[in-house]
Amino acid sequence: MVVNEERHAEIKAALHSRGLSLGAIARSEKVATTTVSLVSRGHGRSRRLELAIAQALDVSPEQLWPERYSR
């Protein structure tokens, strides 16, 4: 897994601009905030959480993490 702190910061900022947070996604998905944060950073992978983050930002997971979905 590639850790990308810059992308993580961009995701957090984009969520914040929509009045959301990683914590809000964690609550809606019934997981710990740290779990969502780890996925956002690239420490871990969960297609379900990737999709939840992407949907909150009205983009596809492929747009947020192209290296995870490249063929």
Q: Residue holding tokens 């947070």? A: 21
Q: Which residues contact 17 (CB under 8 A, 6 or more apart)?
A: none
pTM above 0.85, yes or no: yes
Taking the CA of residue 65 as centre, how many other CA atoms within 13 Å lie in the half-sphere pointing to its CB?
24
pLDDT at 24: 97
pLDDT at 2: 72
41-58 pLDDT, tens per residue? 988 889 999 999 999 999
- DSSP state letter for 59: S
For the record, the structure tokens of 52 come out as 């939840």
Taking the CA of residue 49 as centre, how many other CA atoms within 13 Å lie in the half-sphere pointing to its CB?
25
Q: Are 26 and 49 in contact (CB under 8 A)?
A: no
Higher per-residue pLDDT: 67 or 13: 13
